[in-house]
Structure 1
């Protein structure tokens, strides 16, 4: 959310299912209650929206990618989905909670997101989120920037699409908006990628980070992905499994 990425919903569901699987841990922080109205912000293809609905809450799923929303509607026709921008939205009714998993690091204007979430919540409503924190996928980013610079004359740092704040930075941002932050943690979570030898290649293909590779032909893009895999292999490939060097922030805040 925040800018259009070339998301591939089928590849996302098949090869990046861990995104939703890990998100189920965050649902324990949300503790959805029957009858609550909950916004799933950056809902992807709706797997966690469906989990929230199973608690008895009413859920609205929002994502910036029309392809993701279309896939969500196919998978979960009983759910309500809308296309929307997390940094620029308003709703017709107040939410009891806003939930977000693995989405907010795509939006660099975090202050605008906080303001929209604040407006969406009823007084006393809660905001529960997990996303990439400072140092997230550092090895992958460094390998990407090295390959783009050495082989394609591209400054990858200028194209980095992600916002990975420190825990102090993000908590302060929420407090400046008026939130009371009641829980915040920044932790390492090395994450095994599916598909063995092809795990990191599929991660690069399916995660929508097109800003890094926007000028490359399909052939050069595939070549760059393989060169990035070669550069990162020593640190991230162990026993025939690729690991993404994730560092995550989880936060709970009340209006």
Structure 2
């Protein structure tokens, strides 16, 4: 079901599966931190193509998965394994208004893996939405990109646009806050932060850095007018990163820095 979408859907679930299937697999760490209980009703915020949502649904009473991408939600519905799961296309930055307009019952917990950093336009609205979604004393358990996340690739993408006379930073789609700043935002908006940390995680890519850029760096590439320009920019970035991030066996690795948070609604 589609509600409150705010932008063109730029995600392709099959391309994502090819170049980034490591993302839901590595989400098991934060899922374990959630420690879902069999009686609980849980919101999966930014559920993507639903792999982790399936795992979560096997642990609790009811799951609602939301994502801004209709393409991703359609795949999540196709691979759905449990009857206790509902999916909706919802922009996480419009979560509060969706909850009110649809009279959605409150949740015991909000879970999110590898999604909040895509909600750059209004991260405070996302926090307020999570607060509004929870019962008093309910918990949010999330993992997203934090300060210095994929820093080498992020910088290379910005520089590639700068070299072409564009403001590269303005095309970045990501919100990578420090633990200090994000804790402040949470406390200012009704949460008691129990645990927050930046966790470096060297990550082995499924394919290569070009595939990663095409999957996740699409807003940068779309700033370029022609396919030839886009291909040239990707080749430049690959060669810039190759000395430091391609292993001896040819595989590619980049440094993810994950912001992990456990907080309670006051």
TM-score band (shorter)?
over 0.9
1:212 aligns with 2:220: yes
Which residue of the other structure, out of 233, 252, 262, is the alignment partner of 1:242? 252
Which is worse superposed, 154-163 or 59-68?
154-163
Tell me how far apart the structure 2 counterparts of residues 177 and 56 of structure 1 sit (CA, whole Å): 27
Which residue of the other structure, out of 92, 116, 127, is the alignment partner of 2:129? 116
Query: What value does the CA root-mean-square deviation take over the aligned residues?
Result: 1.6
Which is worse superposed, 137-146 or 213-222?
213-222
SS at match of 1:128: strand
Contact 2:66 2:89 in 1 (8 A): yes
Aligned residue number for residue 150 of structure 2? 137
TM-score, length basis structure 1: 0.93
TM-score, length basis structure 2: 0.89
> How many residues are aligned here?
250
1:176 aligns with 2:202: no
Tell me how far apart the structure 1 counterparts of residues 213 and 18 of structure 2 sit (CA, whole Å): 14
1:34 aligns with 2:47: no
Aligned residue number for residue 67 of structure 1? 71
1:221 aligns with 2:212: no
Tell me how far apart the structure 2 counterparts of residues 2 and 173 of structure 1 sit (CA, whole Å): 23
Return 5+ residue gaps in structure 1 as ranges.
Answer: none
Q: CA deviation at 1:210?
A: 2.6
Aligned residue number for residue 96 of structure 1? 108
Tell me how far apart the structure 1 counterparts of residues 6 and 113 of structure 2 sit (CA, whole Å): 15
Q: CA deviation at 1:58?
A: 1.1
SS at match of 1:154: coil
Contact 2:41 2:60 in 1 (8 A): no
Residue by residue over 1:114-167, the C-alpha shift from the partner in whole angstroms, topping out at 9 and shown as x without a partner, is: 1000000011110000001111111101111222222x3222112111111110
Tell me how far apart the structure 1 counterparts of residues 235 and 174 of structure 2 sit (CA, whole Å): 21
Aligned residue number for residue 167 of structure 2? 155
